Chains A and B, each alone.
Chain A
Amino acid sequence: MAKYIVRRILLLFPVLFGVSLATFMVMHLFTTDPAEIILGQHATTERVAALREELGLNKPIYVQYADYLSDAVRGDFGKSVITKTSISDELMKRFPATLELALAAIFIASVAGITAGVISAVKQNSIFDYGSMVAALMGVSMPIFWLGLMMIIVFSVTLGWLPSSGRISIGMTPEHLTGLYLLDSLITGDMEAFSDALKHLILPAVALGSYSTAIIARMTRATMLETIRQDYIRTARAKGLSEKVVIIKHALRNALIPIVTVIGLQMGSLLGGAVLTETVFSWPGIGSYVVEGIMASDYPRVQGAVLLIGTIFVLVNLVVDILYSVLDPRIQHS
């Protein structure tokens, strides 16, 4: 098992090398010259050339890449060409926001998706089954930014129940421990901050999790339908177990492997793919940071953020693979 994990972690390096090369090339070949953007349209050619030299943009591209890579492996993603601040610091500051949002979204999606999927499978062809599968179809088809805007209109603007943007109200930020506001406010016992952070989190988390909820619900229904027809489910009933125990302990446990795979993949893409949600809800995470970077042609920012997201995605997948052997004793990693 340990050997397997080490091998998988070693495999991380070629993957990340590819990711870094691809983003570096795309940012350098297809975006506008950052020097021109920084200096504005009235800049003289000399000033642009001077800035290009300062930023190292005049060097051959492979030298630039080598410089970038040697810094990146040390955890230094360089400085933002716009704000001149350290990108690594900025990512570290913003990552907890993205993580908190993604965790909340995947939590909502898993609970709602698995519950809906199990009930749909147990009561196949019932009203609930049809209703939840239609809802799931809508969840898969609805664009996240549209859903987010609609939720803001209904719950923030019209009903005024929940705030529409940001992570927390001004002046409420809890003491920084983990960077996850819910957790920090719980640890410090600041219940006011907790409820404020929770209110801010609900809308973006539901919007972000809607697609995953739908995917998880459909996957759960399909695998549960297969599992409840197995012989060992009949054995479980013949033992005198209640229907609840039969479904949850015996059927769901065996259906979990494909469900966990989907949750893991969704978690990976939620961490990296919260770009739209973070923008719609002005969530100060990595997604909105990337969007701002793209708008400003701030290439080091985009490179750094994409590399971080890539690393997280691969790590989440590794965790899922390790979970398999915990869930199914027949799978052994060696």
Chain B
Amino acid sequence: MTALLEIKNLQTHFHIGKRVIKAVDGVTLSVQPGETLAIVGESGCGKSVTAMSIMRLLPSPPAKHSGQVLFEGRDILNMSMEDVQNIRGKEISMIFQEPMTSLNPAYKIGDQIAETVRVHDRDGGKVSKKAAWDRAVEMLEKVGIPGAAQRARQYPHQMSGGMRQRVMIAMALACNPKLLLADEPTTALDVTIQAQILDLIRELAQEFNTALVLITHDLGVVAEMAQKMAVMYAGRVVEQGAVTDVFARPHHPYTAGLLDSIPRLDGMKKQRLHTIEGMVPDLAHLPQGCTFADRCEYRQALCGQKKPELGTVDGGRQVACYYPLNLTGGDQP
């Protein structure tokens, strides 16, 4: 099966004055049609920048991309802006972290959804205003907004954060995209609403057969939503594989550290939560060797000299580490 999205050694660097911030510095990952991939990592590891780079949403300058972002075999990074605009919202859609500010306050939400429908109707036919509006109402019903026909005539300020995120989802899926990028879609919402929104995204992604890239720092969400996961650290993917495998046997010391930091309710004794010592490196001055080496319990001399590349171990799992943990035998990278 050919991958829907294949990112090869993506680098997104921000040139600010004389400084170069390497926000994304070598991301390689792939998403199959209909599949859900979770990108996990702490704040500032480059998750959001990766998603924005896929849609070329970062202002350039200062952002500078290199590498490849292949969507159905075509490199988005080399496309004309017009081609990118044809893909945005139609083939690839995005939901953002901030539902409160992501909708335009000056327009009715129905109009904002209908606008997406109309702008992508370029192959003749000309969707009428009425048809686009009806589609907007239909989408609002699909995302579970009661009284969709009336709600469509409301403005964003008349809705709660959860409702607005539903509107964003309706807008993102209005054109049946093949890929949905969800950038921490529930971070700004109440805990009770979070589960509803995640369920909604999962159901609709299944219904529309949309592949999903879910960006999150919540490993619980990963376990529940995704089949595959990629762990990012300091602008690089350090480990990738099926969620169940990664949870059961993390190969990268950083992944292992993350999994150990999840508080558990079934612990018998009162224990201090595991933490990863040290700080994320400065993205303007990345070390020569492995970016995680300074914080790694298992570091050896080689780790400080050269960056480990992402390599395949254990039949299908990928890890960027010279000394992976929990191997079952099989080839070393």
Contact = CB atoms under 8 A, between A and B. Distances in A.
Given A230-B101, A329-B155, A239 B89 contact: yes
Interface string A228-272: 001110111111111101000010011000000000000000000
Contacts of B159: none
Nearest to B56: A237
Given A231-B98, A232-B105, A238 B157 contact: no
Interface in B164-181: 168, 171
B154 to A, nearest CB: 9
B106 A240 contact: no
A328 interface: yes
A238 B93 contact: yes
Interface residues of A, number: 21
B194 to A, nearest CB: 19
Contacts of A329: 105-106, 155, 157
Contacts of B81: 243
Given A234-B96, A329-B157, A330-B157, A239 B106 contact: no
Given A235-B102, A235-B103, A327-B106, A242 B85 contact: yes
B89 A240 contact: yes
Nearest to B91: A240
Interface string A53-68: 0000000000000000
Nearest to A237: B57
Interface in B53-110: 55, 57, 81-82, 85-90, 93-94, 96, 98, 101-107
A245 B120 CA distance: 13
Residue among A230, A235, A328 facing the most chain B CB atoms (10 A cut-off): A235
Contacts of B88: 237-240
A327 B101 CA distance: 18
A23 B13 CA distance: 65
B291 interface: no
B327 interface: no
Given A239-B88, A240-B86, A240-B90, A234 B105 contact: no
Nearest to A235: B102
Given A240-B119, A254-B106, A329-B106, A232 B87 contact: no
A304 to B, nearest CB: 42
Contacts of B42: none
Nearest to A231: B101
A232 B104 contact: yes
A254 B155 CA distance: 14
A243 B80 CA distance: 13
Interface in A121-139: none
B116 interface: yes
A239 B119 contact: yes
Contacts of A236: 104
A232 B116 CA distance: 14
B24 to A, nearest CB: 18
A232 B90 CA distance: 18
B115 interface: yes
B105 A238 contact: no
A237 B88 CA distance: 8
Given A231-B101, A234-B57, A238-B93, A328 B86 contact: no
A120 to B, nearest CB: 16
Interface in A89-115: none
Interface in A38-53: none
Interface in A203-241: 230-232, 234-241
Contacts of A235: 96, 102-104, 168, 171
A234 B102 CA distance: 8
B102 A232 contact: yes
B205 to A, nearest CB: 17
Given A238-B57, A240-B88, A328 B115 contact: no
Nearest to A228: B59
Contacts of A327: 106
A239 B116 contact: yes
A245 B94 CA distance: 19
Given A239-B115, A240-B119, A231 B96 contact: yes
Nearest to B82: A242
Contacts of B85: 240-242
Contacts of B86: 240
Contact of A238 (B89, B101, B104, B155): B89
Residue among A243, A250, A329, A330 facing the most chain B CB atoms (10 A cut-off): A329
Nearest to A254: B106
A241 B118 CA distance: 10
Interface in A186-215: none
Given A231-B96, A231-B101, A330-B155, A238 B106 contact: no
Given A231-B98, A330-B157, A238 B103 contact: no
Contacts of B98: 231
Interface of B: 55, 57, 81-82, 85-90, 93-94, 96, 98, 101-107, 115-116, 119-120, 155, 157, 168, 171
24 contacts: A232-B101, A232-B104, A234-B57, A234-B102, A235-B96, A235-B168, A235-B171, A236-B104, A237-B88, A238-B89, A238-B93, A238-B96, A239-B115, A239-B116, A239-B119, A240-B89, A240-B90, A240-B119, A241-B119, A245-B119, A253-B104, A253-B106, A253-B107, A327-B106
Q: 4 nearest interchain CB pairs?
A: A240-B89, A240-B88, A231-B101, A239-B89
